[in-house]
Amino acid sequence: MPELPEVETTVSSLKNKVLNRTFVCVWAEEKSTELEKIKGKKIRDVKRFGKGIFISLSSGDTLFVHLKMTGHLLLGNWKLVKDPLDGKKIWKAENKTMREKVNGFLRYVFFLDNGEKLALSDLRKFARVSVFSKKEAENYIKKLGPDPLLIGKKEFKKLFAKKKKEIKPLLMDQNFIAGIGNIYASEILFKTGTDPRKKASNLTDKELEKIYHATKILLKKGIRLKGDSTSDYRLLDGKKGGYQNHHLVYKRQGLSCFNCKKKIERIKVGGRGTYFCPQCQR
């Protein structure tokens, strides 16, 4: 699932490419009358909160996109052509990079006034696209925890103190702190030598401080490397991000720990696969 660095990378790219563009029309795999509201509306701003993308429109409404498990936004040009195998109409990209299989599951295509198209590719069809009023956008954000890049050290430590839940699922709880998922939670806990099964209430003030700093460092590194493309996430131009080439423990099961050379293990914590070093994270 795209996490904070992947969503932030997408938002930054959208700001550079589509600000002040106007939505001309929308194609949706499953017809949506709700999306009719964005036709003729200009893009005024693009922001991120947690894992959500908020595209502010000239009408005062917000086009909200949550990429969920396998969604990613692409900017380019496609044409509807007949599939030679079954005769059905499919979107064919003009750019070769966009023809990578992972980029080919188009569920929404937004036509812009400069001739370009903004598309959502989503293999598993879990991504959410909605039109929020100003109040609905505010209410959505209110339900989420603080953004880990904006929270201060004192507030961060206070947030986790006395919580009896295991630290790994707590880091991933969007209503508790919004933006961290399985990849970066595993990486953060390895960097701080924290057992992912340890309850937050058992962490010392110094340990929480380490987690706070590691969270900032690794999320910013993920942004600098343009996100993690281990799975389906891609940049607006269809290319891969680079964080997957710098994993500390994620997806390294059976490989040697960079610190102690013991084998990285994969266990279940809070129902999610978790990668950790049994020697360094005790």
Domain-embedded: residue 33 = yes
In this predicted model, what pLDDT tens digit does every residue of 225-251 receive, in sequence order? 999 999 999 999 999 999 999 999 999
Residue 45: pLDDT over 90: yes
Q: Any idea what the CATH number is for the domain that residue 233 is in?
A: 1.10.8.50
Segment 160-188 shows an average pLDDT of 97
The pLDDT value recorded for residue 229 is 98
Does residue 135 share a domain with residue 11? yes
Q: CB neighbours of 101 closer than 8 A, spacing ≥ 6?
A: none
Q: Any idea what the CATH number is for the domain that residue 24 is in?
A: 3.20.190.10
The pLDDT value recorded for residue 85 is 81
Q: Domain end: 142, 175, 203, which one?
A: 142
Does residue 271 share a domain with residue 183? yes
On whether the CB atoms of residues 48 and 54 are closer than 8 A, the answer is yes
Counting residues of the chain whose pLDDT is more than 70, the rounded percentage is 100
Among 112, 90, 88, smallest CA distance to 101 is for: 90
Does residue 169 share a domain with residue 263? yes
Does residue 271 share a domain with residue 166? yes
The Cα-based distances of 206 to 7, 52, 162, 196, 269 in angstroms read 30, 31, 14, 16, 23
Q: Domain end: 142, 174, 200, which one?
A: 142
Does residue 233 share a domain with residue 181? yes
The pLDDT value recorded for residue 28 is 96
In this predicted model, what pLDDT tens digit does every residue of 1-34 receive, in sequence order? 899 999 999 999 999 999 999 999 999 999 899 9
Segment 103-127 shows an average pLDDT of 97
Domain that holds residue 11: 4-142
Counting residues of the chain whose pLDDT is more than 90, the rounded percentage is 95
pTM: 0.96
Does residue 216 share a domain with residue 157? yes
For the annotated catalytic residues, the residue numbers are 2-3, 51, 272
Does residue 137 share a domain with residue 8? yes
Does residue 168 share a domain with residue 100? no
The CA-CA-CA angle for residues 122, 128, 130, to 5°, reads: 135
Domain-embedded: residue 281 = no
Segment 157-169 shows an average pLDDT of 95
Does residue 218 share a domain with residue 89? no
Q: Domain end: 93, 111, 142, which one?
A: 142
Does residue 138 share a domain with residue 16? yes
Q: How confident is the model at residue 84 (pLDDT cuts 50, 70, 90)?
A: confident
Q: How confident is the model at residue 129 (pLDDT cuts 50, 70, 90)?
A: very high
Split into its structural domains, the chain has a count of 2
In this predicted model, what pLDDT tens digit does every residue of 245-269 receive, in sequence order? 999 999 999 999 999 999 999 999 9
Segment 75-101 shows an average pLDDT of 91
The Cα-based distances of 190 to 42, 85, 154, 202, 279 in angstroms read 44, 48, 22, 17, 10
Residue 146: pLDDT over 90: yes
Q: Which structure tokens are listed for 247?
A: 């994993």
The pLDDT value recorded for residue 86 is 84
Domain-embedded: residue 213 = yes
